[in-house]
Structure 1
Amino acid sequence: MSALSKAMHGFVGRHGMGAAVFIGVAVFFWVIFLIVLPQMAMLDYSFRNNLPVADVGGPKDVYTLTNYAYFFFSANGSINTLDIGVLGNTMLAAIFVTLIDIALCYPIAFILAHSATGVAARLMVIGLIVPFWVNEILRAFAFRVLFGATGVINGIGQSMGLWDAPIDFIRADVALYSGLTYAYILLMIFPIYNAVEALDRNQIEAARDMGASWWRVHWRVVLPIAKPGIASGATMVFMLTAGALAAPQILGGPSSLWFTQLIYQWFNQSANWQRGSAYAVLLLVVCICFVMLLMRVFKVNIGAIGR
């Protein structure tokens, strides 16, 4: 009997056939109608020409690679460095945000799993969760106020004499990276916490008794256990950061352009759903390739990430 069959029999035994059927139908509906079919429709759109309504379904409505070619080549045949550069910068920024989240969330998750107990642990969890009751767009505007020319950061810095004139954190993208890092911090903390919590505390104490430094304990004992959680959190943070739209629109400086903003422009401002779909498919493919690379780097499979 396969692991999936055992899991299904165990679930039916614990919760009954009715609950199993309901969850199975709900998951099937979610996957097929809210994920697979919309993606297939978008993929179909990406290979179509942007035609007037009267020509849709006619002889001109044929499959084409024009929308993808537009991303790679300009009208004069030269390389489309603008759009390719925007995609590259978006990927680099998403990687940067993901690395910051890993650096911030790993110690928090470890402390929450093995150091904080009782009231302290509950207060940490509440402190992490409650701010996310506020809408994402409102949080983005809060970061804009925080890092604005007359915001809290500049006010404190100038009052303490750290700098004389206001620093333009918006133009420097400090506000954008800070907002994105904070926006998905829970998606990094809890997968790492879930993995680290399973670690036997005696292993850490044994390593310390044998003279291992804290750095070596984490590198040789904790990190191997935390790898699936880190990979899972990094996958979610990277995908959501690369696909973010509200935060780049609100917190991005005048010189910063997110690839999702290009997609938004094609869909809504240019009314060219076909080209917008092609750009969205390209973003999806690049993100999937990054996730596959991430799995190879961490040497984990999709099952370990799913747990």
Structure 2
Amino acid sequence: MAALRRLLADFTGRYGVGVTVYVAVALFIWVVLLIILPQLAMIETSFRHNLPPDAVGGPTDVLTLSNYRYFLFGNGEAVNTLDLGVLAKTVLASVFVTLLDIVLCYPIAYILAHSATGLAARLMVIGLIVPFWVNEILRAFAFRVIFGSTGLVNGVGMSLGLWDTPVDFIRADVALYSGLTYTYILLMIFPIYNAVEALDRSQIEAARDMGASWLRVHWRIVLPAAKPGIASGATMVFMLTAGALAAPQILGGPSSLWFTQLVYQWFNEAGNWPRGAAYAAILLVTCLGFVLLMMRLFRVNIGAIGR
């Protein structure tokens, strides 16, 4: 509390009482009203029975673990391998998309921070930002067209003789992973860029003058500086990929099922809000647990990610 009071006093002295009150109210609305309370309501709903409106608040409206038990065992005693498998696939696919984004965005962020200057840097930024003026759903449909049987990828591949008949990239989930990788690419580039930009260029030049290869320079100098940015970008990309709905709905193949689609089905198609809330809570806890585990494994704290 003492640290918080010092922070508030410093902020008030720097920006004035009006700005401080505005920021405090905005943070309260954002964090408490729009994040914490809805999550608590969802968790509380997940422990309820799916009752008709006239039975809510009655003697049968009691707390229950049946919704979580259904996730684990379905309607019987056997393990619910379908839903558990969908959750595992969603987490692994989100990890794969996150790793793809890291591999693609690290060199772009480094070039943007230390190599591109003037017009080249501005063109790179414009080229990264302008495509995202298009709605996410429209971009997903664009990827479906590009990877379709008569799309650009199949057309180029067949014209070059790489394959004779159209490849079903939709069923193979290539379109889905490509679309998700592209959707969150900016959330990976700019955190890495912010971290790498602060790196003193003279350290890289000194290492090069001493004969270090580019691989060694990046491994020993650039990557440690970029680590907080990579952790921040990876956290955002992983969480948003695991929680994506539009892209899996549009780009997923017939046998592909994202865990968010199960949540959507329970809420909207089955009309079972308590079970949908339980599935949403399971996804939230799983993703948070995975992120905290990775932070501990790679020795990155929340303060480094916040910077």
Structure 1 equivalent of residue 112 of structure 2: 112
Structure 2 equivalent of residue 238 of structure 1: 238
Q: Distance in 2 between matches of 1:177 and 1:33?
A: 34
CA contact (8 A) 1:227 1:298 kept: no
Deviations 1:17-61 (A, max 9, x none): 211211110011111110011001100000000011111111110
Q: Distance in 1 between matches of 2:187 and 2:9?
A: 30
Structure 2 equivalent of residue 269 of structure 1: 269
**Residue 192, structure 1, aligned to residue 199, structure 2:** no
Structure 1 stretch 184-193 or stretch 288-297: which is displaced more? 288-297
Q: Distance in 2 between matches of 1:5 and 1:186?
A: 35
Q: Distance in 1 between matches of 2:233 and 2:131?
A: 19
**Residue 90, structure 1, aligned to residue 80, structure 2:** no
Deviations 1:132-172 (A, max 9, x none): 00000000000000000011111111122221111100000
Structure 1 equivalent of residue 173 of structure 2: 173
- The alignment partner of 1:94 has SS state of helix
Aligned runs of 1:154-233 on 2, under 5 Å?
154-233=154-233
Structure 1 equivalent of residue 306 of structure 2: 306
Structure 1 stretch 82-91 or stretch 207-216: which is displaced more? 207-216
Supply the AA of the counterpart residue of 1:149: S
Structure 2 equivalent of residue 55 of structure 1: 55
Q: Distance in 2 between matches of 1:159 and 1:170?
A: 20
Structure 1 stretch 188-197 or stretch 293-302: which is displaced more? 293-302
Structure 2 equivalent of residue 35 of structure 1: 35
The Cα shift of 1:76 comes to 2.2
Structure 2 equivalent of residue 287 of structure 1: 287
Supply the AA of the counterpart residue of 1:110: Y
Q: Distance in 2 between matches of 1:110 and 1:2?
A: 40
**Residue 18, structure 1, aligned to residue 18, structure 2:** yes
Q: Distance in 2 between matches of 1:106 and 1:265?
A: 37
Deviations 1:62-104 (A, max 9, x none): 0000000000002220000000000000000000000000000
* TM-score (norm: length of structure 2): 0.97
Q: Distance in 2 between matches of 1:51 and 1:5?
A: 47
The Cα shift of 1:8 comes to 3.9
Q: Distance in 1 between matches of 2:288 and 2:83?
A: 19
- The alignment partner of 2:275 has SS state of helix
Structure 2 equivalent of residue 100 of structure 1: 100
The Cα shift of 1:204 comes to 0.6
Question: Identity rate of aligned residues, in percent?
Answer: 75
Q: Distance in 1 between matches of 2:121 and 2:3?
A: 34
Aligned Cα root-mean-square deviation (Å): 1.3
Q: Would the alpha carbon gap of residues 82 and 299 (structure 1) be closer, same or farther in structure 2, given more than 3 Å must change?
A: same
List runs of 5+ in structure 2 lacking aligned partners: none
Q: Distance in 2 between matches of 1:285 and 1:249?
A: 23
Structure 1 equivalent of residue 130 of structure 2: 130
Q: Would the alpha carbon gap of residues 5 and 223 (structure 1) be closer, same or farther in structure 2, given more than 3 Å must change?
A: farther
The Cα shift of 1:297 comes to 2.4
Q: Distance in 2 between matches of 1:270 and 1:119?
A: 54
Q: Would the alpha carbon gap of residues 181 and 11 (structure 1) be closer, same or farther in structure 2, given more than 3 Å must change?
A: same
Deviations 1:252-293 (A, max 9, x none): 000100000000000000000000000000000000011101
Q: Distance in 2 between matches of 1:219 and 1:5?
A: 41
Supply the AA of the counterpart residue of 2:306: G
Q: Would the alpha carbon gap of residues 208 and 4 (structure 1) be closer, same or farther in structure 2, given more than 3 Å must change?
A: farther
Q: Distance in 1 between matches of 2:6 and 2:132?
A: 37
Q: Distance in 2 between matches of 1:7 and 1:234?
A: 29
Structure 1 stretch 11-20 or stretch 93-102: which is displaced more? 11-20
Supply the AA of the counterpart residue of 2:149: A
Count of matched residue pairs: 307
CA contact (8 A) 1:67 1:275 kept: yes
Q: Distance in 1 between matches of 2:217 and 2:108?
A: 16
CA contact (8 A) 1:176 1:251 kept: yes
Q: Distance in 1 between matches of 2:211 and 2:3?
A: 40
* TM-score (norm: length of structure 1): 0.97
CA contact (8 A) 1:231 1:294 kept: no
